Amino acid sequence: MRILEAKHSGFCPGVKRAVDTAQRLTNEHPDAVIATLGELIHNPTVIGALAQRGVTAVAEDGIPALLERADGKPCILIIRAHGTTLSMEQTLEALCRSHPNLRVVDCTCPFVKNIHRIAAEESAPYADAPGEALGIIFGDPNHPEVRGINSRFSCETRIFPDSAAVEAWCATEDARKFSQKRVIYVSQTTQKLSECKISQKFIGKLYTNAKIFDTICNVTENRQTETEQIAEQADLMLVIGGKGSSNTQKLYDICRARCELTYFIEGPDDVPRHLFRPHMCAGITAGASTPDSIIQEVKKTMSEIEIMEENFAQMLDESFKTLNTGDVVKGIVTSISANEIHVDIGSKVTGILSFNDVTDDPTADIANMFQVGDEVEAIAVRVSDIDGVATLSKKKVDNANSWNDVVAAYNNCDILTGKIVDCMEKGVIILIKGLRVFIPASHTGLPREADLKELQGTTQNVKIIDINEQRRRAVASIREVLRAERKEKEAAFWAEMEVGKEFDGVVKSFMPYGAFVDLGGVDGMVHTSELAWGRVRHPSEVVSIGDSIHVYVKDFDADAKRISLGYKTDATNPWKIFTDKYQVEDVATVKIVNMLPFGAFAEIIPGVDGLIHISQIANKRINNPAEVLEKGQEVEVKIVGIDDENQKVSLSIRALLSDAAAAEEAEIVEEAGIDAE
């Protein structure tokens, strides 16, 4: 077996510095209470070794408890290579001033520190106007490094985990509003280089004046490039590192795209010994949080496997077992195509699973359902020593197991989930764990005239309503599930119902006396008298079918399932609007809307009219309002009376004419220099 090991493997300089610092501090300060702010690195072996030295990990909210545990003794808190947020740094500075026994050791990676500097300096000019600039961070929004970077920006920020998210955002209105603003782009140090480059192209195309900083660590870049080259040559790849490590996960993704047999392992115990074959080329790479000692142990394990390969062929022959039709076997998937799967079943024959022996779902993609290395259980339906193949059926094993699940669901009234794979005249077929179950048309939940093909390919929740044990046939219902969900929803709705509660509902239908509104599965009614403050002959004068309206509960009867709703509010009451805006002695511009022998009615605001008595229309006697006024005419009036109890308003044109005459007389007197007294 040939082993290809990546030279750029294991601890990066930043992580090594942090681990070495923690170990050195335990030697130099044996009596001190030492802790790290979060786990120092994503590697359980290293974390365990530090714990044996007394180094514990604390969360931000655990610092007070740490100081209490120190009880005046020297206390050292280590900031890991990921760094921390600006607010946390400021909190630690304040704690150091108030607790002389506390010492903070900053092990933030220099590459991360550089991004902090870029974010702070580039966004500082926009601290007083954060909306005038945008910081774009390409990285995992939940990663501590990204949270620390985000805290350094003084402007608005957006965080994207992959290039697809960047591309989707670039087409939004949110992205376009920054077209004339300052845009600053940085990335998490451990991001996948190829993804980062793609995202930069999208940003550069949208913002021609964007400042794009290449902040992926060059150690990470070299590691990813070398890993990609090895994975293209290897038959099997081992990626060593902690499952929580971001950079190790990206190495796994790079390898998996180029080598089907790629495994993510944390140490030698995870090496997949059963997959090693003579003359195989195996590759090794490791994340930045993986110590060299673990890499060497993995290599040692692989060397032991290599020694065993000398007798592998002989042992393999001895291990071959006889296979008979009807035997249930377990095997390892060795290759996958669109129509069949090859399985190593530990026999001299190769197991073959055809598409129809895997699933009854015609739309299934078996290439996505399985991966090389997966273990499958199947039954041998035909064995040919001459051809060297055994025809297997996974479906038969699955159906047997699935039938037991269906029977249990029927007895327990459980809900099952499946995919609709076929439509017939009298119903549809749902595939539940590989088992075909019939749903009658009346139980699909669709209206009688609906086309059953609407359900084709959809995933549905069903309840088993009948089974035939002898024929292994089952009947299911979507309608029963929907009915139960509807009852549960209605029960919750009525349990929370109270007078005054507000809803955003949809107008569903009309009756001459009101409009029915869907409140979310339950209907309420707005009486015509509650639709508007004025007289309403039919609900359609105020609202339309399908309108979304805001309503409130005036009264309800839970037993009768009736809800009376209100739509008009004080805020829309014309009289309140009028009294809030006008008072006696105010002047208003009004429109003449009607004339009677005793006076003219004028609209002050929509919904509120006032009377101009015939005696108040002119400063001379008139016999009919029409001598001076006409319908639709706009005139200025003075409000001379407001009857709040009866909601009546008295208006006067004459009062304004008198005021104008008095003002004119005063002006003449003043010009003539005549003493008014």
pLDDT band at 200 (very low <50, low <70, confident <90, very high): very high
Task: Tell me which of 177 and 386 has the higher pLDDT.
Answer: 177
Of the candidates 45, 121, 117, 50, the residue with the CA atom closest to the CA atom of residue 80: 50
**Which pLDDT tens digit goes with each residue over 522-555?**
889 989 888 877 777 898 888 899 999 888 998 9
pLDDT of residue 323: 77
**Which pLDDT tens digit goes with each residue over 110-139?**
999 999 999 999 999 999 999 999 999 999
- Residue 614 vs residues 338, 587, 621, 662: alpha-carbon distances, Å: 94, 18, 9, 22
Of the candidates 63, 9, 492, the residue with the CA atom closest to the CA atom of residue 230: 9
Mean local confidence (pLDDT), 549-562: 88
pLDDT of residue 675: 52
**Which string of DSSP letters, residue by residue, matches 109-137?**
-HHHHHHHHHHHHHHGGGTT-GGGEEEEE
pLDDT of residue 661: 67
Amino acid at 554: K
**Which string of DSSP letters, residue by residue, matches 375-426?**
EEEEEEEEEETTTTEEEEEHHHHHHHHHHHHHHHHHHHT-EEEEEEEEE-SS
Distance separating alpha carbons of residues 152 and 86, to the nearest angstrom = 6
Active site residue 89: no
Q: Which residue has the tokens 């600039």?
A: 133
Given a contact cutoff of 8 angstroms between Cβ atoms, the answer to whether 551 and 524 are in contact is: yes
How buried is 291 (Cβ within 10 angstroms: 0-12 exposed, 13-18 middle, 19+ buried)?
Answer: buried
pLDDT for 622 beyond 70:
yes
**Which string of DSSP letters, residue by residue, matches 74-101?**
-EEEEE-TT---HHHHHHHHHHHHH-TT
Q: Which residue has the tokens 């005046």?
A: 72
pLDDT band at 666 (very low <50, low <70, confident <90, very high): low
pLDDT for 355 beyond 90:
no
Residue 446 burial (CB count, 10 A): 16
pLDDT for 11 beyond 80:
yes
pLDDT band at 477 (very low <50, low <70, confident <90, very high): very high
Mean local confidence (pLDDT), 442-460: 90
pLDDT for 593 beyond 70:
yes
Mean local confidence (pLDDT), 21-48: 90
Of the candidates 371, 15, 50, 23, the residue with the CA atom closest to the CA atom of residue 223: 15
pLDDT for 317 beyond 60:
no
pLDDT band at 677 (very low <50, low <70, confident <90, very high): very low
**Which pLDDT tens digit goes with each residue over 202-221?**
999 999 889 999 999 888 88
- The 3-class secondary structure across 229-296, one letter per residue, is HHHHHCCEEEEECCCCCHHHHHHHHHHHCCCCCEEEECCHHHCCHHHCCCCCEEEEEECCCCCHHHHH
Of the candidates 114, 110, 94, the residue with the CA atom closest to the CA atom of residue 102: 94
Q: Active site residue: 145, 226, 228, 266, which one?
A: 145
Cβ neighbors of 199 (< 8 A, separation 6 or more) are 138, 160, 162, 163, 166, 187
Of the candidates 402, 382, 405, 404, the residue with the CA atom closest to the CA atom of residue 393: 382
532: its two tokens: 């508007």
What is the percent of the chain where pLDDT is above 70? Answer: 94
Backbone angles phi, psi at 634, to 5 degrees: -100, 130
Of the candidates 363, 459, 455, the residue with the CA atom closest to the CA atom of residue 419: 459
H helix or E strand, kind and range, residue 563: strand 562-566
**Do the strands 375-384 and 328-336 form a parallel or antiparallel pair, or are they unpaired?**
antiparallel
Rounded to the nearest integer, the mean pLDDT of the chain is 87
**Do the strands 427-432 and 435-440 form a parallel or antiparallel pair, or are they unpaired?**
antiparallel
Q: In what order do the strands lie in the sheet with 156-160?
A: 156-160, 133-138, 182-187, 211-212
pLDDT of residue 676: 44
pLDDT of residue 560: 83
352-356, 417-421, 620-624: which has the minimum mean pLDDT?
Answer: 352-356
Mean local confidence (pLDDT), 362-371: 82
Distance separating alpha carbons of residues 229 and 329, to the nearest angstrom = 37
Residue 598 burial (CB count, 10 A): 11
Sign of CA dihedral 123, 129, 135, 141: positive
Q: Tell me the domains of the chain and their CATH numbers.
A: 111-216 (3.40.1010.20), 233-314 (3.40.1010.20), 322-387 (2.40.50.140), 413-476 (2.40.50.140), 497-568 (2.40.50.140), 574-662 (2.40.50.140)
pLDDT of residue 168: 95
How buried is 419 (Cβ within 10 angstroms: 0-12 exposed, 13-18 middle, 19+ buried)?
Answer: middle
**pTM of the predicted model, to two decimals?**
0.44
542: its two tokens: 């105020």
Mean local confidence (pLDDT), 587-612: 92
Counted residue by residue, the chain has a size of 677
Distance separating alpha carbons of residues 34 and 93, to the nearest angstrom = 17
Distance separating alpha carbons of residues 139 and 221, to the nearest angstrom = 15
Mean local confidence (pLDDT), 587-615: 92
Q: Which residue has the tokens 């550089």?
A: 114
**Which pLDDT tens digit goes with each residue over 240-292?**
988 888 888 999 999 999 998 999 998 888 888 877 777 788 999 998 888 88
